[in-house]
A and B are shown apart, each in its own frame.
Chain A
């Protein structure tokens, strides 16, 4: 742990690398900047996060996309964010909406988002949603990924348990195991770490046992 901390401090000090807040001013095309600004205002009025919209515009700019395509991409993302907010009600934090939009983009359905929210009505589902999204992008089918993560959530898995799931599955997939089989294996491994008592203690109120 000490070594990790030391490495982290050195890396940050040497590179001065901190996560950057996206800024409208970084959009070079003035007309596009106005379009994105309007989307940002609309998002704030809807109560959905606006930073992802600016990020999307900057991503398109980095990749050399034209203004029309960037505008379309940003608008489509705004619609996904609004849909994610609706499916995740009651929203506990804006990160949930952002990750929910990613999940919809990856192929998860509204029902999957609603199931995750129902499992953790009083805790942020940003991390579980992110893990399901990552598993789906690694080749696990959406229903299976959702079911496995839901089972873990209901059994009291911690955020770090969930976060390690994706990388463990990737390790198995890279050694030739089918993604679904790899997920089964890893979920069984995590299940063995969860004590029966933890389920009762950590399960959110209203969650099924």
Chain B
């Protein structure tokens, strides 16, 4: 039974991501080949739908996913997550997540798992940060319920497109069958483990790659350790589509009830709302003569952009095409100016580098002071 659950849970682990600011809607379709110790390889189809939305200091994420294998394994999972950045503390982010999974194994019974976690992320510098967190999970399988938990801590540092991460997890595992080599040794009570992990992520142009290695050591008698590493390569030919290939070995994840497995997975990801919304920036240049200034709006990306604000009489003004995107210049009078930008006929939004204020119409406007 645990063997079949792995097909589901492995895909879950890969599809559950940390929520980020911005708006995203993605569909994932893919195929995976998984192999567990003492089991034959199993092929599975993976499908998932994810939503991310973030505004100001709060971001939410929700995922629903399913996995179907040829031997009639089916499952569904829901993941909800929220991230909060308090006003005035952009270096502080509190994240929490909850997930629920149900697996119906035709002809072999069913099971379910639920997890709840929280993580406190601190990034005092743009290039470095770290977090501490805790996650607890309850798995019900084959008529037996187990409680499992993990305490995690990690630090990261970034230089240009390279991010290094290192961390330590402490696991408290009741689900002995999941972490012990068969035949399962008679461990009573809770087994404890330490996971030491390190990883590197590289981003270059439309490519990104990641390698992560983990070493597990048993901290109590008869707790079995192990090593695993997982690599991932992603290519995004344009802002609507990306391909991802992941392969390697994962250690058992007792919090989600996932056994150890080797996997290779190819995913097609469709970004219904592009993952990288075009960067919109506004700057001021000194006017050649007289008072006021020249307000320059720049939008990256291929889709046409418009700007509106107090300086256009709130009429949409199209930006002109440039080599790198879209650009417009406007002579503005001294004082405060309000501004919004629209890309590709989408919603009006505030340029990223401007402070934002609520308006009376349920949205926000950017504010810029012209000397």
Contact = CB atoms under 8 A, between A and B. Distances in A.
Interface of A: 1, 4-9, 11-12, 14-15, 17-23, 26, 55-56, 58-63, 65, 69-70, 72-73, 76-77, 95, 98-99, 102, 105-106, 126-127, 130-131, 133-134, 137-141, 159-160, 162-164, 166, 170, 173-176, 178-180
A163 B293 CA distance: 12
Interface centre among B286, B311, B356, B360 (most CB of A within 10 A): B360
Contact of B313 (A58, A70, A140, A180): A58
A95 B310 CA distance: 13
Interface in B275-305: 285-289, 292, 294, 296
A102 B370 CA distance: 14
B91 interface: yes
A170 B331 contact: no
Q: Nearest 8 A-B pairs (CB), nearest first?
A: A11-B329, A163-B371, A20-B313, A73-B360, A5-B288, A58-B314, A137-B355, A130-B369
A73 B361 contact: yes
Contacts of A127: 334-335, 369, 371
Contact of A62 (B316, B328, B357, B370): B316
A14 B287 CA distance: 15
Which of B288, B328, B368 lies at the interface centre, i.e. has the most chain A CB atoms within 10 A of its CB?
A: B288
B90 interface: yes
A70 B328 CA distance: 28
Given A55-B310, A59-B338, A159-B371, A175 B126 contact: yes
A4 B331 contact: no
Nearest to B371: A163
B336 interface: yes
Nearest to A180: B88
Given A63-B363, A130-B336, 14 more contacts: A8-B287, A11-B329, A19-B311, A20-B313, A22-B313, A59-B365, A62-B348, A127-B334, A127-B335, A137-B367, A139-B90, A163-B369, A166-B369, A176-B90
Interface of B: 87-91, 123-126, 285-289, 292, 294, 296, 308, 310-317, 320, 328-336, 338, 348, 353, 355-357, 359-363, 365, 367-371
A20 B309 CA distance: 10
A170 B348 CA distance: 22
Contact of B334 (A1, A126, A139): A126
A20 B312 contact: yes
Contacts of B310: 55
B160 to A, nearest CB: 16
A138 B292 CA distance: 23
A173 B85 CA distance: 13
Contacts of A166: 355, 369
A1 to B, nearest CB: 7
A19 B329 contact: no
B286 A1 contact: yes
A121 B370 CA distance: 21
Given A17-B328, A73-B361, A133 B367 contact: yes
A19 B330 CA distance: 7
Given A8-B329, A127-B334, A138-B355, A59 B314 contact: yes
Select the residue from A6, A11, A61, A131 with max chain B CB neighbours within 10 A.
Answer: A11
A11 to B, nearest CB: 3
B329 A99 contact: no
B314 A139 contact: no
B315 A26 contact: yes
Given A11-B296, A160-B371, A178-B88, A62 B331 contact: no
6 contacts: A19-B332, A20-B311, A62-B348, A65-B361, A137-B355, A166-B369
Contacts of A160: 371
A7 B285 contact: yes
A12 B335 contact: no
Nearest to A176: B91
Nearest to A138: B355
Contacts of B87: 139
A5 B87 CA distance: 39
A77 B360 CA distance: 10
